[in-house]
Structure 1
Amino acid sequence: AHLETMGTIENIARAKFELLDHIDPDSIRVLNLDDAILKARFDMEPEPKIGYAVRADARVRPTGFSSNSLGRIIFQYQGGEIHLNVPGLHTLYNALAACAIAEIFEVEFESVRDALQSYKGKSSRMEILELGGVTVIDDSYNANPTSMGYALKALAQMQGKGRKIAI
């Protein structure tokens, strides 16, 4: 939806960065360091700041992760394991952002784990439906090329019998 009105990822980033340009200097910035655009901005930001990532060196990072047969992520963090209910790697990034914010507020691991594991997602956003022996990923709400890419990656990670069809 943002691409429709803003044209490019860079334009979206520029608009979102306006938020960083106007926050209190003492506010803590939390950014994804696996994204090249965000990493470049992170490097320019003053302290305090926290980075999270799957691949890059970051303060908040899983020590390992995998996905189950439905593409749902299981990751290790702070010596424990967290099972996410919504499929796709992008869900891990959202969870890591939540972990970074939880660190700021000194929330205990068990509370973070329980909250992340209880999240079921929103209707029509990477929603897994079982219909008559067929597994469907419904990502039709406000889909855009990036979200569709994540849905296709999640579909590719899913295990099962038969064909995989994307519509």
Structure 2
Amino acid sequence: MVNKDSSGDLVKTPRPQESDGQEDEDGEEDLSPEENRVLERKLKKIRKKEENKKMKDEGKSTEQEENTTNVAEKLALEYLSCWSERKDEWKFQKTRQTWLLQNMFDRVKVPDSYFGVLLAYLEGLRGSAKEKTLQKAEALVRWEGQGEGEEDAETRRNRAKIVMQQL
């Protein structure tokens, strides 16, 4: 069980067990190695979550988030390049396709040089991915662009129109 002590730090406390209920000399119940491992992972995850929340409250983003975004972008664009240039080496990857579909309207994440290739890739789109992409594009075309710079909103709408025509 994870609790906070008087200083607000997370501390591990034993959780009641319904099994044999044996206690060690400190009065704490013994946990199996697997239970200890799971508990340690949970504690680490909670600490990390609190640290990220604290940094977010201070207006800072973690380096890891920025690096993950850059890596995901590079991998997705490389995936798209491989699809267009080296089809014999290309292998479908759901995560790369998902990233591309979520970010295809963003000119910064998917530069114009890759957008044409992405349009060709979309021709092979099937099933719910195709339906959801069409719905998203239609919603963007209807959207008035509130809360964004006018140029960025116009670029997104233009890309959405092109995607609708393609599909």
TM-score range, shorter chain: under 0.3
Whose strand fraction is larger, Structure 1's or Structure 2's? 1
TM-score between the two structures when normalised by the length of structure 2: 0.27
TM-score normalised per structure 1 = 0.27
Q: Which has the larger radius of gyration?
A: 2
Higher relative contact order (Cα pairs below 8 Å, separated by 6+ residues): 1
